[in-house]
Amino acid sequence: MALTAMHAEAVPYDATAMRWVLPDGLPACGRLVGAPGRLGELVAAGGPIVRAVAERRALWTWLAQPAWDVCGVEIRQAVFVAAGRPAEWQIEPDADEVLELVATDVINRTLKAFIASHGGEIVLVRASENTVDVEMKGACARCAAAGGTLHGRIEREISDRTGSRVTVNAIGVGRRRIPHLNLPAFGAGPTPPCR
């Protein structure tokens, strides 16, 4: 069996979830319904893993109750062994489930602190059919760099993690005014001439 690099990432916004990062990749994206060895037993009906979803280079697992201190080592070993036998994984494709999961994670874990440090907030509204709609709040709603954050960071990371070309749209951002100056926001359309 080849050595498989792997590490676990806790999910701060969901204590029942763990993301197992497998840089060598997984055979497909979607819901894990069967796997070789002990992992297959753990995801079977009645097993401690109540949900498992594969993204491009990570496996998400959820327990019914947060008990990673009890089950974590066994699950880590089972994922490690199964990762060496990718042809035996049974994954039901579900692009929308993977897209919503990854979009939520990118927004709430990967970028949340960065965005908040700039006085903003981005909220996931919808994720389906390779399109992610977000609502931009706070400073993000008026920020000239918001397009760069949407397309350069969020869109790129979601696309990379799902293996699909994803488009991210900001909804509800139209002609907004910069309240303290009572000026239209940059890019909000033509401005009247100075008098």
Burial class (CB in 10 A: 0-12, 13-18, 19+), 23: exposed
Which among 59, 93, 127 is the end of a domain?
93
pLDDT of 188 above 90:
no
Assess whether 142 and 87 both reside in one domain.
no
Mean pLDDT lowest among 72-81, 97-106, 184-193: 184-193
Helices (H), the chain: 37-43, 68-83, 95-105, 112-117, 146-148, 156-162
From CA 124, how far away is CA 147, in angstroms rounded?
Answer: 16
pLDDT-based confidence at residue 171 (cuts at 50, 70, 90):
confident
Q: Which two tokens stand for residue 42?
A: 């753990």
Assess whether 69 and 114 both reside in one domain.
no
Angle at 122 between CA 163 and CA 158, to 5 degrees: 5
pLDDT over 90 percentage in the chain: 67
pTM exceeding 0.75: yes
From CA 173, how far away is CA 13, in angstroms rounded?
Answer: 27
pLDDT-based confidence at residue 181 (cuts at 50, 70, 90):
very low
Assess whether 34 and 58 both reside in one domain.
yes
CB atoms within 10 A of CB 82: 24
Given a contact cutoff of 8 angstroms between Cβ atoms, the answer to whether 144 and 186 are in contact is yes
pLDDT-based confidence at residue 149 (cuts at 50, 70, 90):
confident
pLDDT of 33 above 60:
yes
**DSSP letter at 119?**
T
Using DSSP's 3-state secondary structure scheme, residue 161 falls into helix
Assess whether 86 and 117 both reside in one domain.
no
Assess whether 24 and 59 both reside in one domain.
yes
Going from the C-alpha of 51 to that of each of 10, 43, 45, 60, 111, the distances in angstroms are 16, 7, 10, 8, 25
From CA 170, how far away is CA 38, in angstroms rounded?
Answer: 43
